[in-house]
Amino acid sequence: MKKIKFTDSDRELVIKELETIQKTKLIQLKPSRKLYKDSNEMLYLISGGTEDWHGINVNVINKLIEHNKEGAFVIAKKYQTKIEICVGSLSMFVKNLDKLPRTKSGGYHFHNVITEDGLFVEEIPELYCNKVIEFSFKPGTRDFSKLKKISKILNIEINDDVELTHSDVQAKLILIGSYLNFRTYTPDVSKNSIYGNLGELCSDIEIPEGSIPALSVDTVKFVDVIWFDEEGYPTHAFEVEHSTDITKGLLRLYQIHKLRIKMFVISKEVSRDKFKREVLKNPFVKIKNEFVFKNYDELDSFFQSVKQFNTMQEMFLKR
């Protein structure tokens, strides 16, 4: 049986259920994926997963300590076809932080013990979370509201005579990745493109916590665009060499090749010969077959095929 995962779509379903129960709107406190607040400034710490182990990074913990008020400690437990939401006291959790084991990165972790009508934290037995709701879902469903937002951006008409910038090429890679249901990241969150601000186009504005060994994070975070799977593990890395030296892009990719990630250099066709020469030099020659060169026209063809498929999908599924 395929192992189930707790995905971004699952988290959004949990948020919607909590908003319905609390009759309020929850706002994500970025960059954390677990911390939210409502219109009354009440905090919600939301941990979701399929296992009974949860980790929380030290930045989130510091925000909870600084807030120093009651809030909602939420655990969303995912099964094959349902999710259970249990809620307890956030202040009780913060009060007993000293009982929790620490992670290597300085964060905290804890374990759940499931009961008939909720769960409690193994390390803090007095922290009991009541099951407030459980709901069913169809396995493998996608978040179509998110897909519609991407579709609108894909359909922005760009004149053929417009010369694309480095940020425009990054935006194309981000949009393609998002449409293919990858999580997307770029270090250039403040830059703008013809498709919008890069930070707003990406699903993640920081490298997903725990997805990459600590020694590699400082290199990975400077790669132009990265795609991650639903669990936050990197799958594809792209270096866009618009006007800079291809060697520098290859070096960044080389430094992360042990992650077993697919590595692409995206550039103008005139740079292909230089790419071929560079990958025959040290240290790249050792893994030369792991580097892939794609020119702008090839990227655009991919982008247009996604755009066309999106249009066909909308037409076919339209009621």
**Dist CA 284 CA 298 (whole Å):** 23
Mean per-residue pLDDT, 286-300: 95
Q: What is the pLDDT, as a whole number, of residue 139?
A: 57
Structural contact between residues 219 and 252, judged by C-beta atoms closer than 8 angstroms: yes
DSSP 44-103: EEEEEESSSEEEE-HHHHHHHHHH-S--EEEEEEE-SSEEEEEEEEHHHHHHTGGGSPBP
Alpha helices by DSSP H, listed for the chain, are: 8-22, 58-67, 90-95, 144-154, 166-179, 198-201, 214-220, 246-254, 272-278, 296-317
pLDDT category of residue 216 using cuts at 50, 70 and 90:
confident
pLDDT above 60 (res 299): yes
pLDDT category of residue 1 using cuts at 50, 70 and 90:
very low
Mean per-residue pLDDT, 100-122: 91
pLDDT above 90 (res 313): no
Half-sphere exposure of 107 (CA within 13 A, CB side): 12
pLDDT above 80 (res 105): no
Q: Decide the pairing of beta strands 82-89 and 72-78.
A: antiparallel
Structural fold of domain 8-136: PvuII Endonuclease; Chain A (3.40.210)
Mean per-residue pLDDT, 46-64: 91
**Dist CA 319 CA 316 (whole Å):** 8
**Dist CA 80 CA 113 (whole Å):** 18
pLDDT category of residue 10 using cuts at 50, 70 and 90:
confident
pLDDT category of residue 319 using cuts at 50, 70 and 90:
low
Task: List the chain domain ranges.
Answer: 8-136, 144-317
Mean per-residue pLDDT, 162-166: 86
pLDDT above 70 (res 215): no
Least confident window among 20-29, 76-85, 86-95, 140-149: 140-149
